[in-house]
Amino acid sequence: MTRLTTLNLRGRFDWQQRESLILDYLHEQDPDIIFFQEAVYLPDLSPYNQATILNHDLKYPYEQAAIARLQTSPLYENYREGLAVLSKFPITWSETLILKQDSHDHLRRIVLLFDVNYHGHIVKYANIHLAQNPKNAVKHLEELLDILESRHERRIIIGDFNMPNLQDVDAWKANYTSSATEKYISFPSENTRIDYILMPKSDLLVDLSLSGDQLSDHRAVTVNITLKD
């Protein structure tokens, strides 16, 4: 069994108030791998991105980041945002994919692919933060699944899908199972869920739990899964 946690960090918004709460939650849950979205690197404030800053306390031995998107900011000249992961197990390979940019989305959406050596078995993951518009998010998910299919591989896909109705999307159903079958709220301001995990059908979701509302505008989602032999 392996434990995974995903959390959209919401960048630096109220960071001083939230950082200790995030650390308390992650220490309590003690996941094997942590998936962050909206992890920010602000060189005006720190030479490290948020995942690295958190890991100064968490002390996970393996870390991977794709802080690859430049954004405008009224406060900071250099605002860079993206995805990051912390892992207890060796990350043996990684790649950052840039998905097709929709004309209505000012950000390029990326996917952080990475492989983990889990007790001698390679487990494949994808950390995602898809387009804010749900229709475009579906297109991005379909694009990612097509890429993986062309590579003849299945990955555990986890993160901020930005779609409240993943259960109605057909693209994943032939080869994956999903936390969309569970009832939970991960985005409380809109009383919905947009954070999920997709797993190859050989894997099994054992249980799912949520953080409180103080960590971010998202609730952290922690899942225990049983991996295929």
How far is residue 136 from each of residues 8, 23, 100, 155, measured CA to CA in Å? 19, 33, 10, 21
- Per-residue confidence in pLDDT tens, the chain, 229 aa: 999 999 999 999 999 999 999 999 999 999 999 999 999 999 888 999 999 999 999 999 999 999 977 777 777 777 789 999 999 999 999 999 999 877 777 778 999 999 999 999 999 999 999 999 999 999 999 999 999 999 999 999 999 999 999 999 999 999 999 999 999 999 999 999 999 999 999 999 999 999 999 999 999 999 999 998 6
Residues 6+ apart with CB under 8 A from 161: 128, 130, 137, 141, 194, 195, 196
Domain count for the chain: 1
Helices then strands, counting H and E runs in the chain, come out as 3, 12
Largest CA distance in the chain: 50
pLDDT of residue 10: 95
pTM: 0.96
CA 158-22-34 angle, to 5 degrees, is 30
- pLDDT of 3 reads 98
CA distance 29 to 24: 9
**pLDDT score for 136:** 92
E-strand ranges in 30-75 read 33-41, 62-71
Q: What is the CATH number of the domain that holds 157?
A: 3.60.10.10
What confidence score (pLDDT) does residue 56 get? Answer: 98
Predicted pLDDT at 228: 81
Query: Which phi and psi (to 5°) does residue 37 adopt?
Result: -115, 160
Which domain, by its residues, includes 18? 2-226
The pLDDT of residue 45 is 87
Smallest CA-to-CA distance from 227 within 201, 203, 197 is with: 203
What pLDDT was estimated at residue 229?
A: 62
Burial class (CB in 10 A: 0-12, 13-18, 19+), 128: buried
CB 38 within 8 A of CB 129: yes
